[in-house]
Structure 1
Amino acid sequence: MTSTVTPAPAAPSGTSRPAPRLHTPRRRRSPGRPRRSVLLTLLTGLVLLYSLAPLVWLVISATKTQEGLSRSFGLWFDGHFALWDNITETFTYNDGVFTRWLLNTVLYVVLGAGGATLLAVLGGYALAKFDFPGRRAVFAVVIGAVAVPGTALAVPTFLMFSNMGLTNTPWAVIIPSLISPFGLYLMWVFAGEAIPTELLEAARIDGAGEIRTFFQVALPLLAPGIVTVSLFTMVATWNNYFLPLIMIKDPDWYPLTLGLNSWNAQAATAGGQPVFNLVITGSLITILPLIAAFLLLQKYWQSGLAAGSVKE
């Protein structure tokens, strides 16, 4: 049995037959490729502009003289570039007291922030890897301490240190800086995720004591969390203003925050000399160590913040 194929009718003469339309499949977005959002890009740009605009103003203003600050536009340079002169005058003004304030700030950071980091590491490791009575109560106290603002404790802290005779001394700033509830909580969470319990048990079976287990096994694994907590405590101590304001009256023990504020207040006092160019230059010098610390240690603190965010 044969089948016959009927040919298609020919198109009339003088007319062109339209070409068949080819169906092109729609390109599908790769699963790993993020979708672009114009609104999110605009919002990110606004946040970036809001964050960088004060820094740009600070850098540009530090290149101006006292007179140049008032005769030029804030976000553009003056005719006279005076950055190096401002830096030199900042360190030599008033018998070089800025250097004294800088060393005071370094002292408060090394002892206060360093001690806070050490206590947070020891306490976080103990709370994460040891089970003892009252562990839940400690957790509630830590969470409650995180929620309490520091200004609410300023007056009781001042009265307590005044009764002990420690006001107007460096210890009035260092001792309160040793307590970092947020750092303790962060190290608690990080130690629970970063240190396998099996690894600690294996070290104990091999005969290592608790101190050796902590320093040789746990401490290297806690490095990202330690850097993260130290950065948080260092920034908090470096920028601390309210606590030294109520504790210290001697200008020789001022940190940079109080010292620059005293320079800024000279313009409002009778017979005072305005030195806004030195205040701005000193502020620029003050933030440079923090920027350098964040840039040099960003690999560690970013991984420390991400700890515990992904559930295995």
Structure 2
Amino acid sequence: MNTADMKSRHTGGSLRTGLPSTAFMLAATAYFLLPLWWLAVAASKSAGDLTTTPSLWFSDVHLAQNLQELWTRDDHIYVRWLLNSLLYAGGGAALGTLLAAMTGYALAKYDFPGRQAAFSVILASVLVPVTALTLPVFLMMSQLDLTDTYLAVLLPSLVSPFGVYLARIYSEASVPDELLEAARLDGAGEFRIFLTVSIRLIMPGLITIFLFQFAGIWNNFFLPLIMLSDQKLYPVTLGLNLWNSQVIHDPVLRTTVITGSAVSILPLVIAFLLLQRHWRSGLAAGSLKG
């Protein structure tokens, strides 16, 4: 058999092997994108067109009217809910990432009694469902008289055991001990070393932690449901659920809920697109370092 025949057979085998994989990936992609497509189509329809036109294709576009109704309904309460979500998710993710970075860095670079035991507890807490902790957290907040406040949602969102785990992995692999010793010899304090040297080296990992935190807090529903009763403090997830419960009395509200759902995913999309380069490099590096 000559070289050309061997190459031809190899190419044919690769095609036969690759086609099922490609078809499966395309089917999986369509499966995950289909709800988003439906949401975009439904958000552009009027209340009547939702049930009388094909659900996966556009009819008369009423997106501007739907957005106008969304912004103005109940005295612009949706804007308040959106800002609340940005506060909870943005503030919680930023502060939570900083705390996770400091904790993971300390566990990776400092030797102290109980270090391994502390890390084992943190690692075990990753397996505990967040919903299982909601009731104890609610009782703690009640004792502190913090329920029905912004802090009731913000403070529990700062804790991220998985973020601590990732921060330790990145700190161990990305921050050389020799660099820390050199900084100490130059007279830099430990906190200054962390802020000016170490945090730059683990930045891709911190961006990954931030995005996970941001998405988790933004989509959080159960914690605000337990903690909040004042509608002005609701995040967008809880606010849309409130409107959805009123659809049976006001069918026109269904279009507003759908439009609000479509708008609510835009901050997540924007955050992932803006930080995509750092996020992808962080995940790739983490998979190698882990």
**TM-score normalised according to structure 1 size:** 0.86
CA distance in 1, matches of 2:272, 2:214: 11
Q: What is the CA-CA distance between 1:310 and the residue it aligns to?
A: 2.9
Q: 8 Å contact 1:264–1:274 — kept in the other structure? A: no
Larger Cα-atom Rg: 1
Distance 1:83 1:266 in 2: 21
| Structural mapping, 1:142-157, within 5 Å | 142-157=122-137
For 2:264, which of 262, 286, 297 is the aligned residue?
286
User: 1:265 maps to which residue?
Assistant: 245
Instruction: State the SS of the aligned residue for 1:147.
Output: coil
Asked if 1:219 is matched to 2:196, the reply is no
The alpha-carbon deviation at position 169 of structure 1 amounts to: 1.2
Q: CA deviation at 1:311?
A: 6.2
Structure 1 residues 34 and 215 mapped into 2: Cα distance closer, same or farther (>3 Å)?
farther
1:265, CA displacement in angstroms? 0.9
State the AA in 1 paired with 2:257: V
Structure 2 alignment gaps of length 5 or more: none
Q: 2:50 aligns with which of 50, 69, 86?
A: 69
Relative to 1, partners in 2 of residues 1:34 and 1:244: Cα closer, same or farther, differing over 3 Å?
farther
How big is the alpha-carbon RMSD for the aligned residues of Structure 1 and Structure 2? 2.0
Query: For 1:84, which of 64, 73, 89 is the aligned residue?
Result: 64
Letter in 2 for 1:58: L
1:249 to partner: Cα distance: 0.9
1:39, CA displacement in angstroms? Answer: 2.2
Q: Residue 56 and residue 208 in structure 1: after superposition, are their counterparts in 2 closer, same or farther (change >3 A)?
A: same
The Cα shift of 1:214 comes to 1.4
Contact 1:168–1:250 at 8 Å: present in 2 too? yes
Q: Structure 1: which 4+ aligned runs deviate by more than 4 Å?
A: 33-36
- Choose from 213, 219, 236 the match for 1:256: 236
Q: Name 1:307's counterpart in structure 2.
A: 285
Aligned residue pairs, count: 285
Q: Is the 8 A contact 1:113 1:234 kept in 2?
A: yes
Structure 2 counterpart of 1:171: 151
Distance 2:289 2:262 in 1: 41
The residue identity in structure 1 corresponding to 2:288 is: V
Report if aligned partners of 1:124, 1:188 keep a CA contact under 8 Å in 2.
Answer: yes
Provide the C-alpha distance between the structure 2 equivalents of 1:40 and 1:278, rounded to a whole number of angstroms.
40
Cα 1:308–1:56 change in 2 (3 A) is closer
Matched, 1:105 2:81: no
- Amino acid aligned to 1:42: A
Q: Is the helix fraction higher in 1 or 2?
A: 2
Equivalent residue number for residue 74 of structure 2: 94
- Offset from partner CA, 1:239-274 (integer Å, 9 cap, x none): 110000111111111100011111111123xx4454
Alignment of structure 1 residues 126-205 onto 2, 5 Å: 126-205=106-185
What is residue 59 of structure 1 aligned with on the other side?
A: 40
**SS in structure 1 of the partner of residue 57 of structure 2:** coil
CA distance, structure 2, for counterparts of residue 272 and residue 81 of structure 1: 21
Q: Decide whether the 8 Å contact of 2:96 with 2:158 is kept in 1.
A: yes
Q: Secondary structure at the match of 2:44?
A: coil
Change in 2 beyond 3 A, CA 1:194/1:36: farther
Residue 53 of structure 1: CA displacement? 0.4
Answer 1 or 2: higher relative contact order, Cα 8 Å, separation at least 6.
Answer: 2
1:35: how far off? 9.4
Deviates more, 1:199-208 or 1:253-262: 199-208
Consecutive unaligned residues of structure 1, counting only runs of 5 or more, are: 1-22
State whether residues 161 and 172 of structure 1, in contact with CA within 8 Å, keep that contact through their aligned partners in structure 2.
yes
SS in 2 for 1:77: coil
Structure 1 residues 38 and 182: CA distance shift in structure 2, 3 A: same
Look up the SS of the partner of 2:247 in the other structure: helix
Q: Give how far 1:173 is off.
A: 0.4
- Rounded to whole Å, the distance in 1 between the matches of 2:101 and 2:279 is 15
For residue 206 of structure 1, report the CA deviation from its aligned partner. 2.4
Query: Residue 246 of structure 1: which of 212, 223, 226 is its match?
Result: 226
- 1:137 deviates by 0.7
Deviations 1:85-111 (A, max 9, x none): 111111111111101111111111233
Q: 1:35 to 1:72 in 2, by over 3 A?
A: closer
TM-score (norm 2): 0.93
Amino acid at match of 1:73: P
| Alpha carbons 1:128, 1:191 under 8 Å: kept | yes
Please say if 1:296 is aligned against 2:274. Answer: yes
In structure 2, C-alpha distance between the alignment counterparts of 1:307 and 1:210, rounded to whole Å: 25
Residue 39 of structure 1 pairs with residue 20 of structure 2: yes
